[in-house]
Amino acid sequence: MISRESILIAVLAVVLMATSTAATDPIIMKPIKSGTPVGLVMIQGAEIPAKTYVPLAKAIQEQSSLALYISIPTFALNTPEPLVLKGGIEKAEKALYSAGLKTSDPLFMAGHSLGGAMLQDYVFKCTNCAGQILMGAGLLRKYRGKEYPVKTLTIDGTLDGLYRVTRQAESFYHFIQHGPASNVYDFPVVVYEGVSHMQFASGPPPALVKKSDLKPEVSEATAHNLTAATISLFLDVQAKTPNSPAAQAALGKQTKETETLLAPIIASLEQEGFIHFLPPCNSDYPMPSCPAYPRYPGKQEGDTPQVDCTCGTPWSKVAQQMMGDLPDVTLDVTDSIHPVSDINPIHLPHVWNTCQAEKGCSLNITTVTQAVYEAGDSFDTGFFSTSAKELRVKLMSRQSIWVDAGLKNVNFTQTDVNVNTCADINKAAFAWAMKNAGPDAQKRYESIGEPLKFGPDLGPYNAGPLWIYNGLKYNQASDKSAMTIQSPMMHTPVNYGIKAAAGFHYCKLLSPARAMEWIYIDGLRAKGGL
């Protein structure tokens, strides 16, 4: 029997060996031009050989006006693990200085994929880094609440199957749309149409990339030239070369193009009340920037208003209006965001007034929504879906709305039972996404996208936990010919035995952002993957 001590010694030996062999001699590329001397260390992605970055490195040297020294370290198993990253970078820097770069010259760091994810923790503490470049990666959310000390360029493609363009849209929202004006050139986010994850390197993709990446729509050379051009601009700006003003303007132009590219995704996330744009408001409290959310049952409580938060989920308002389906009645809907499992206080939908439909009227309605995200979202890798996997929405039933609008003899079976209203709302979410997607994304999905279908509503699950914990169903055909979505629902008539639970129609809804993400990424995998 192998002793515990022997196992520990063996594990230690493996660790020491990995550490000692973490980085072999780096690839060194000396300048091909005269000009301002600048160093660039490029960190490989997981299982992607260092040598496969040479073509991109050459393209950067060719497009840059700088005397650009490039070093590409090679890590054990071609993977820049955190334990060996620092040693590899230090070895690469030493090689650059041996090649002719001076310690006083600007030094930049670049990382692709896992290399970009691992690199930013190192750069955060770096004292001699003039700038950072992330390819197929992005600054982690944990750095969003503090000032990141090193200027960072983020580059990606719409067809990156590992670091989603939807996650890059989140970065663009924060750094560009809601950041200082200087971020256009200090923290630019640039996305290229038709470029994939692997196109920041060359050669055959490793297993994970092959399994997850999407087929590019541009050549490798085109992708490298696009990337090299943007990196060259960023280097000019941060190295403060004579070309810096022109480079700032060019980066501004690329940012505007990226904004157009990402606008549909950002709009869809806003429809969802995306939790990583702004946190949800605590709607038990009055807030100057939000409608008053009456605590139900009871009154508003508290005196601590919130700022910079999301008042409600816009798509839930659409859902309630579709549920009501009364053309002559205006539904003034206010949504509130809460965990739907809350019981103290409990948060319920409510109609606050009555009217007479024949005279034209308006009903004031409060709905309740909870967006639920993938478990992997907390890792912030960009690999898992960015959007909510379901919206748990508490709506007033069609019957209750019709009754409150003054209609007589409203039949619950006809209004809420013999219908699939949740499915109809989900169809509308997908239709919204298709209508608002970018033209290239529309055309691509119509050509190779896996269709979304919508099956009959499931239930009723008229016990709260049954509805809450039965998630929105995504059922993919065995041949991947279609994905069928079904909504668990619950509904109660206005004369329901439990008065506090009467007149409701709850739905598990497809977020327009999840529909958009299907059009841009996941719906392409069956026919558009590597």
In order, the DSSP letters of 313-324 are -HHHHHHHHHHH
3-state SS string for 109-141: EEEECHHHHHHHHHHHCCCCCCEEEEECCCCCH
- The verdict on residue 178 lying in a domain is yes
CATH number of the domain residue 160 falls in: 3.40.50.1820
Whether residues 330 and 265 fall in one domain: no
Q: Of residues 124 and 286, which shows the higher confidence score?
A: 124
Whether residues 38 and 150 fall in one domain: yes
Whether residues 497 and 390 fall in one domain: yes
Whether residues 523 and 470 fall in one domain: yes
- The verdict on residue 175 lying in a domain is yes
Residue 232 to residue 99: CA distance in whole angstroms: 21
Give the pLDDT of residue 138.
98
The tens digit of pLDDT for each residue in 251-276 reads 999 999 999 999 999 999 999 999 99
Domain limits for position 248: 24-272
| Amino acid identity for residue 344 in this structure | N
The tens digit of pLDDT for each residue in 112-143 reads 999 999 999 999 999 999 999 999 999 999 99
- The verdict on residue 6 lying in a domain is no
DSSP run (H or E) holding 26: strand 23-29
Whether residues 381 and 240 fall in one domain: no
Residue 152 to residue 116: CA distance in whole angstroms: 11
CA angle, 225 then 227 then 233, to 5°? 100
The tens digit of pLDDT for each residue in 329-376 reads 999 998 989 999 988 778 899 998 999 877 778 999 999 999 999 999
- Percent pLDDT > 90 in the chain is 84
Give the pLDDT of residue 293.
58
Whether residues 268 and 322 fall in one domain: no
- The verdict on residue 289 lying in a domain is no
- The verdict on residue 351 lying in a domain is yes
Residue 200 to residue 228: CA distance in whole angstroms: 10
174 pLDDT more than 70: yes
- The verdict on residue 518 lying in a domain is yes
Which of the residue ranges 18-27, 56-65, 314-323, 394-403 would you say has the lowest mean pLDDT? 18-27
Give the pLDDT of residue 15.
45
Choosing from 222, 238, 272, the residue where a domain stops is: 272
The tens digit of pLDDT for each residue in 487-530 reads 999 999 999 999 989 999 999 999 999 999 999 999 999 999 99
- Report the number of distinct structural domains present in the chain: 2
Residue 102 to residue 162: CA distance in whole angstroms: 37
Whether residues 193 and 47 fall in one domain: yes
Whether residues 136 and 198 fall in one domain: yes
The tens digit of pLDDT for each residue in 179-201 reads 999 999 999 999 999 999 999 99
CA atoms within 13 A on the CB side of 51: 4
Give the pLDDT of residue 303.
52
Whether residues 187 and 321 fall in one domain: no
- 488: helix, strand or coil: strand
Residue 221 dihedral angles phi and psi, to the nearest 5°: -60, -40
Whether residues 36 and 92 fall in one domain: yes
- The verdict on residue 4 lying in a domain is no
Instruction: Please give the model's pTM, rounded to 2 decimal places.
Output: 0.93
Whether residues 96 and 172 fall in one domain: yes
Q: Which residue has the tokens 């067809």?
A: 159
Residue 404 to residue 357: CA distance in whole angstroms: 9
Choosing from 208, 242, 272, the residue where a domain stops is: 272
Give the pLDDT of residue 345.
78
Confidence of residue 287 (pLDDT cuts 50, 70, 90): low
The tens digit of pLDDT for each residue in 2-61 reads 554 444 444 434 443 444 444 589 999 999 999 999 999 999 999 999 999 999 999 999
322 pLDDT more than 70: yes
Give the pLDDT of residue 12.
37
| Amino acid identity for residue 309 in this structure | C
Give the pLDDT of residue 343.
84
**C-beta separation of 89 from 109 below 8 A:** yes
Whether residues 321 and 449 fall in one domain: yes
Q: What is the mean pLDDT of the chain?
A: 92
- The verdict on residue 452 lying in a domain is yes
Residue 23 to residue 115: CA distance in whole angstroms: 14
In order, the DSSP letters of 148-211 are -SS-EEEEEEEE-SSS-HHHHHHHHIIIIITS-TTHHHHS-EEEEEEEESGGGS-SS--HHHHH
Q: Which residue has the tokens 């690839």?
A: 27
